Amino acid sequence: MDLAGKAKRVRVYVKESDVIGRKLAPLALLEFLQRERAAGAIVLRGIAGFGSSGRIEDDALPELAPHLPVVVECVDSHERVERLMPRLRELVAHGLITVEDVEIALYRPEGVRDLPSTVTAADVMSREVSSISPDAPLLDVVKVLDGKLYRAVPVVEDGRPVGIITNQDLTGRGGLLARVELLAALPPAERASAVAEVGGKKAREVMTPSPVTVRADAPVPEVGALMAQRRLKRLPVVDAAGKLVGMISRLDLLRTVAQGGAGGASEQRPSGLRGDVRLSTVMRTDVPQVRPDAPLGEVLEAIVSTPVQRALVVDASGKLLGIVGDEELLDRVTPGLRRGALRSLMRRLPFTEKSPAEQHSRATRAADLMTACATAREDQSLRDAIASMMKAPHKLVAVVDANGKLVGAVDRVDILRGLVS
């Protein structure tokens, strides 16, 4: 995977003698990062230090040597760090975790991480999975998903998945007023009000029962085809006895393709997914577009007009300028406009708010709302689009011609269909 550019550095400070489960903490953390396919990690052993106890510990005294400070450090993409952080917080009972932005000036790996000739779900799935019981309060489900990269939680009984709760379940049968990822854009009072709407419901009342699952030994192309055919974003992974062992998402498949093609042509590892397909053959051309001076109502209408929930901003010549997503929109409009905007986004209704607050909003045009957009040329491959997508916060890559003019776009659904074609 191309890691050049913006990235995150995570440092975990523990004692050499700390234990996670039955293993020493440094080794347990290293193995966790390896299982979750982090780009790499290193364990650094200090010669002296002190922490919250205020006691200096160094290697001058043999009896104190096992308590020396240790730092487990890794540098990876923003997206992967976001995915790993919740579990890291759970693993580190005593210690310190820091996360900081870094600029990668050079990333020249010795080769590509080996992938089996036939990659299976077990090779790429996430093993650290949060699950809930059928009788768990729905509020617990919201707490489990809040702040996580994955927007679904399996409902498990006797170790076997009997249901799954997704964003759609929460906002539909659950009554949640906003998708989980939009909650972060709401101020505390509005956020609490939105979450309170789930009331006293239980997981079994809201879950989609009998979820589609895949076996851990299922080949990745088979998993991808199933996701594309059933339009599923993620699947519980089960063992031969039907018990939950992990979760696999479209993102896991895209990451596999990116890693499998990180080196030169002679170094690429087969995954069974077609990362060399041209973008021009799979891109969609119906992505909504707005001009930079488009008013808030027009931007909202464009965002809710298609399932991608994004609008691309172009100038008069069709050159790409940026992208507007629902999260940025909610974050930047004034409180007086936010409720109407949220209602429009969630119910796909026209935005009709005409209050005086609109005149004082710090974001009334597309140019005020847009951010940078991941791009790829129409003659590039799916693997190139995946590399761009991994570096950006949006799940959409704008496809442009040689002059930067917008000609289409691909999201994760389009890419997955191309990979299994």
Partners of 314 in beta bridges? 320
* Structure confidence at residue 399 (pLDDT): 96
Let me know whether 411 and 308 are in one domain.
yes
Q: What is the CATH number of the domain that holds 10?
A: 3.30.70.120
* Structure confidence at residue 267 (pLDDT): 43
The per-residue pLDDT for range 324-349, each reduced to its tens digit, is: 877 766 666 555 555 556 665 555 55
Let me know whether 80 and 30 are in one domain.
yes
Let me know whether 97 and 126 are in one domain.
no
What is the three-class DSSP state of 265? helix
* All residues at 6 or more sequence positions from 212 whose CB lies less than 8 Å from its CB, including other chains: 226, 230, 232, 235
Let me know whether 291 and 154 are in one domain.
no
Of 373, 209, 363, which is closest to residue 299 (Cα–Cα)?
363
Q: How many CA atoms lie within 13 A of 83 on its CB side?
A: 26
Let me know whether 240 and 352 are in one domain.
no
* Structure confidence at residue 360 (pLDDT): 44
Let me know whether 314 and 385 are in one domain.
yes
Size (the chain), residues: 421
Give a yes or no: residue 273 inside a domain.
no
What is the residue whose two structure tokens read 């000739």?
Answer: 117
* Structure confidence at residue 421 (pLDDT): 74
Per 3-state DSSP, the chain is made up of helix, strand and coil in percentages (nearest 5) of 35, 25, 40
Please give the tally of structural domains in the chain.
Answer: 3
* All residues at 6 or more sequence positions from 172 whose CB lies less than 8 Å from its CB, including other chains: none
- CA 65 – CA 294 distance, rounded (Å): 64
Let me know whether 252 and 295 are in one domain.
no
- CA 187 – CA 387 distance, rounded (Å): 33
Domain containing 174: what range? 121-267
Give Cα separations from 285 to 144, 399, 408 (angstroms): 36, 9, 4
Give a yes or no: residue 402 inside a domain.
yes
Give a yes or no: residue 42 inside a domain.
yes
Which one is predicted more confidently, 276 or 110?
276
For residue 395, what are its two tokens? 């799940």
Q: What is the CATH number of the domain that holds 182?
A: 3.10.580.10
Q: Are strands 375-377 and 396-400 parallel, antiparallel or unpaired?
A: parallel
Which amino acid, residue 355? S
Let me know whether 139 and 71 are in one domain.
no
Give a yes or no: residue 113 inside a domain.
no
What is the residue whose two structure tokens read 């053959």?
Answer: 281
Give Cα separations from 5 to 143, 164, 278 (angstroms): 33, 36, 25
* All residues at 6 or more sequence positions from 278 whose CB lies less than 8 Å from its CB, including other chains: 378, 379, 380, 381
* Last residue within a domain, chosen from 267, 294, 317: 267
* Last residue within a domain, chosen from 235, 267, 299: 267
What is the residue whose two structure tokens read 């290193």?
Answer: 42
Of 408, 182, 380, which is closest to residue 312 (Cα–Cα)?
408
Identify whether the C-beta of residue 398 lies closer than 8 Å to the C-beta of residue 312: yes
* Structure confidence at residue 337 (pLDDT): 56
The per-residue pLDDT for range 358-380, each reduced to its tens digit, is: 444 556 788 988 889 999 999 99
Give a yes or no: residue 110 inside a domain.
no
Let me know whether 223 and 284 are in one domain.
no
Give a yes or no: residue 11 inside a domain.
yes
- Three-state SS letters, 277-336: CEHHHCCECCCCEECCCCEHHHHHHHHCCCCCCEEEEECCCCEEEEEEEHHHHHHHCCHH
Partners of 244 in beta bridges? 238
- CA 341 – CA 351 distance, rounded (Å): 7
Let me know whether 200 and 318 are in one domain.
no
The per-residue pLDDT for range 20-73, each reduced to its tens digit, is: 988 999 999 998 888 777 878 999 988 877 776 667 766 555 554 567 889 999
The per-residue pLDDT for range 220-270, each reduced to its tens digit, is: 889 999 998 898 989 999 999 999 999 999 888 887 887 654 444 444 445
* Structure confidence at residue 158 (pLDDT): 95
- Evaluate if residue 409 carries a pLDDT over 90: yes
Report percent pLDDT > 70 for the chain. 80
Q: What angle do CA 387, 390, 396 make, to 5 degrees?
A: 95
Q: What angle do CA 354, 358, 364 make, to 5 degrees?
A: 120
* Structure confidence at residue 161 (pLDDT): 97
* Structure confidence at residue 39 (pLDDT): 78
Give Cα separations from 156 to 36, 160, 238 (angstroms): 22, 5, 11
Q: Are strands 160-166 and 208-209 parallel, antiparallel or unpaired?
A: antiparallel
Give a yes or no: residue 287 inside a domain.
yes
Let me know whether 43 and 162 are in one domain.
no
The reported pTM is 0.67
Let me know whether 257 and 391 are in one domain.
no
* Last residue within a domain, chosen from 34, 69, 104: 104
Give a yes or no: residue 61 inside a domain.
yes
